[in-house]
Chains A and B, each alone.
Chain A
Amino acid sequence: MNHQSSGALPPPNAIVQWFAGVGRVTHTTFEHAGGLGILFAQIVVATVRLKVSFRSVLNQMYIMGIQSLPIVLVTGSLAGIVTSQQGGYQMTSAVPSYVLGSLVVETIVLEMGPVLTALVLVGRIGARITAELGTMVVSEQIDAFKSLGRDPVVILAAPRVLAGVMVLPLLVGIANLIGIMAGVQAANLTSGLGQESFFFGAQLFWHSFDLGYSATKAIVFGLAIPLISVHMGLKTKGGAEGVGLTTTQAVMFMTLTILILDAMFPPLLLN
């Protein structure tokens, strides 16, 4: 009996390729994790030593905050309207209609507000930061900073990350508020639920911790988006093609990170 049939086992080169693939993914993962850790530590050191320009942070807060406000308002309103309409549609006579108030408020504050705002900022701010810093790398502007004795982390990375951490909670707060207001109006128009009943229902299941939960998510996302986008931007190689490729990778990386972090919050903080 022939135990060495060629079809019984995959050819050795396929196994080698599989291990090589696993090795590459592991190497890339650790490389990014290490790079992000080092960048974060450098930003903390620069901040603690008061090396970061306050004016640069304010400028970044303006770009991330004020300039993102319109899209955040639109996203927040639509999230409130859709949640309210779909919640109203699923209500049966066995459930008091004021429960819709709780459903909308909790969904917006705990999930939709922070996550949608973060995803909007991934596209609007994260991609911009990666492309901007990537272009600076390929046009040797980062090298120029270093040659002039300036630290790109202090000048470019730290203001963006600090601004992200401060701005995202504010934007999430605004998105939550506008989402709830839009939800109230939508509940009134589509389910005939009055404002008082809506807020009565909302208060029934409200915990003050929910606001902290929403803010904590916003701070974590506000740290992750600029940190990843700066890290990816500074790792750009090649020319215009490299900038495009790195920006696409950064957007995917940030989106996945936001969704994974979001999935980690309930088991860590809600149970």
Chain B
Amino acid sequence: MIEYRNIHKSFDLPVLTGVDMRVESGEMFALFGPSGTGKSVLLKTTIGLTIPDMGEVEVDGISVFRGGKRALEAVRQKVGYVFQHSALFDSLNVFDNVAMGVPEDELARMPRMETAAKVWEALELVNLEPREILSKIPSELSGGMKKRVGIARAIVGRPEVLLWDEPTTGLDPINTAAVERLIQQLSKQLQVTSLLVTHDVEGGLLICDRVAMLDSGTLRFCGTPDEFRACPDPVVQAFVDRAAAEAALDMVLDVL
């Protein structure tokens, strides 16, 4: 379970102004919102990559900011983070990139063969052929493959929580659908709590148990996908309509 309490964060201008949100254990939760409303900032506070000016975050009862260094390490060990642009390490090959996802002390004790088996399994889980890509460096991979390697790195340490920061950004509609199916499949298979930040509203509504919408730094909506679609709030409706129009336009452009 992830709980955000009264999160405030400013970068010159206020980005988050008192966000309270709760993601239950085992659920798939999507966070929507226009660009610049602080979705990724909120996600990054979950593992202390961004420190809020005020407020508290708890992951499975562990305080991220009040528990000290050990608590933060414990939280980071529980959480797998999928970055928007994959954030693969340029100088490392796919094997070493994915192996980085194994906790450091575990990796130090683990025989090389066991590490290789874990990396192999993680790559297979994201539908990649390990034999073909293990020795490749990130610059030799396509955008979709980089995303999958990034996901493999996030899941290889068997996290209890997965945070997805716009995992479909920059992908074509076919790859977007494939990655969304993968997110759903992995979340169920690994029985993790998933928090998905995405611009793909239709995709998010399809695969998530609950959704929320951030607007101007505050939580505008939180509920089920059906409640979201039926929400009378004009801001939410405008966002849903705009997202649907953008999705239709993307589809037309893709066909053309």
On A, residues with C-beta under 8 Å from B are 135-136, 139-141, 143-150
Among B76, B87, B90, chain A packs the most CB atoms within 10 A around the CB of B87
Taking CB atoms, residues of chain B closer than 8 Å to A145 are: 89, 100
By the criterion CB–CB under 8 Å, are B104 and A143 in contact?
no
Taking CB atoms, residues of chain A closer than 8 Å to B104 are: 149-150
Taking CB atoms, residues of chain B closer than 8 Å to A148 are: 76, 100-101, 153, 157
Name B87's contact: one of A139, A149, A150 (CB within 8 Å). Answer: A139
* B224 contacts A by Cβ under 8 Å: no
* B228 contacts A by Cβ under 8 Å: no
On B, residues with C-beta under 8 Å from A are 44, 47-49, 73, 76-77, 79, 81, 83-85, 87-90, 100-101, 103-104, 153, 157
Closest to A135 in B: B90
Name A143's contact: one of B87, B90, B157 (CB within 8 Å). Answer: B87
The CA-CA distance from A141 to B146 in the complex, in Å, is: 13
By the criterion CB–CB under 8 Å, are A143 and B44 in contact?
yes
The CA-CA distance from A146 to B153 in the complex, in Å, is: 13
Closest to B74 in A: A149
The CA-CA distance from A139 to B85 in the complex, in Å, is: 7
Top-3 shortest CB links A-B = A140-B87, A144-B87, A147-B81
By the criterion CB–CB under 8 Å, are B76 and A143 in contact?
no
Q: Give min CB distance, A168 to chain B, whole Å.
A: 23
The CA-CA distance from A264 to B200 in the complex, in Å, is: 59
Taking CB atoms, residues of chain B closer than 8 Å to A146 are: 47-49, 76
Closest to A148 in B: B100
Closest to B48 in A: A146
By the criterion CB–CB under 8 Å, are A144 and B83 in contact?
yes
By the criterion CB–CB under 8 Å, are A143 and B83 in contact?
yes
List 18 A–B pairs whose Cβ atoms lie within 8 Å, in order of A's numbering.
A139-B85, A139-B87, A140-B85, A141-B87, A141-B88, A143-B83, A144-B81, A145-B89, A145-B100, A146-B76, A147-B49, A147-B79, A147-B81, A148-B101, A148-B157, A149-B73, A149-B103, A150-B100
Name B76's contact: one of A136, A139, A140, A147 (CB within 8 Å). Answer: A147
